Amino acid sequence: MSSTTSRTPEHVAIIMDGNGRWATKKGWPRLVGHRKGAERVKAIVRVAPDLGVKWLTIYAFSTENWKRSTEEVIGLMGLFGRYIQREAENMSREGVRMRFIGDRSRLDVKLQDMMRWIEERTKDNTHVNLTVAINYGGRNELTRAARALARQAVETGLDPDMIDDEAVSRVLDTFDIPDPDLVIRTSGETRVSNFLLWQAAYAEYEFTPVLWPDFTPEVFAEILGRYGARDRRFGGVGT
Ligand code: FPP
């Protein structure tokens, strides 16, 4: 995989949808779809830098996903832990920097420890940045940001009139991550589902009917090609 488009998005965010349907169609438990989905994550992270993508942010578990069966929630949490464990060596070798966004406080403490551990272990890697959203919701993130700013106003005398876009960005989970250029959603759904509400203000969106477990590097490359043909004006009139 070597071709890059004329204009490649530096940061691609992905709503990985369709694992459950993929498995059900084959008569398998939903968790088999999530396991296959995790393999896809690995393949897409590996190919991303070759396609010119330096930043990948993936939606692995939303603040709404707790409503799923206990079996599925526990299965997904186990999968995240195993991914960190199994991929730590590969990520170090391949220069992947791993981060997490979302409210960690509700996660199992052992998983929280592993998340901190892999972030620390990969913090000097620069080849590609993988950010995984776990217990993430855009509204929840903005609510926590509002609390942080209110706390600063009370505790350090921050002047409310000094709060601008930059100040808000600085207290989001993504404070050290650029905004996404492109958001991809798989499985034919055309909703935003509370993903990166602030950060995707000027992002392009691409929707594909492909279910996440079938999302190959070739499908990824084709979508990036479509993005390359777009004209982004950021609210201006263009050239
Ligand atoms: C959406 O498909 C998928 C999820 C909620 C989980 C995403 C998780 C993975 C791809 C697993 C691995 C991730 C990492 C980082 C190891 P769905 O279950 O909503 O599918 P459906 O709409 O067909 O039911």
CA–CA separation, 60 vs 77, rounded Å? 10
Please give the pLDDT value at position 106. Answer: 96
Query: What distance in angstroms lies between residue 226's CA and the mean position of ligand 1's atoms?
Result: 24
Alpha helices in 49-103 (DSSP H): 70-94
> What average pLDDT does the chain have?
95
State the average pLDDT over residues 68-90: 98
Residues assigned a catalytic role = 17, 65
**For the chain, how are helix, strand and coil distributed in percent, rounded to 5?**
50, 15, 35
Per-residue pLDDT tens over the stretch 116-132: 999 999 999 999 999 99
Q: Is 133 in the pocket of ligand 1 (CB under 6 A)?
A: no
- Cβ atoms of residues 132 and 98 within 8 Å: yes
Please give the pLDDT value at position 230. Answer: 79
Please give the pLDDT value at position 2. Answer: 41
Q: How confident is the model at residue 239 (pLDDT cuts 50, 70, 90)?
A: low
Per-residue pLDDT tens over the stretch 196-207: 999 999 999 999
- Cβ atoms of residues 60 and 101 within 8 Å: no
Per-residue pLDDT tens over the stretch 130-159: 999 999 999 999 999 999 999 999 999 999
Closest-CA residue, ligand 1 atom 3, reads: 17
Structural domains for the chain? 8-136+180-232 (3.40.1180.10)
Q: How confident is the model at residue 226 (pLDDT cuts 50, 70, 90)?
A: very high
Please give the pLDDT value at position 4. Answer: 44
- Cβ atoms of residues 201 and 179 within 8 Å: yes
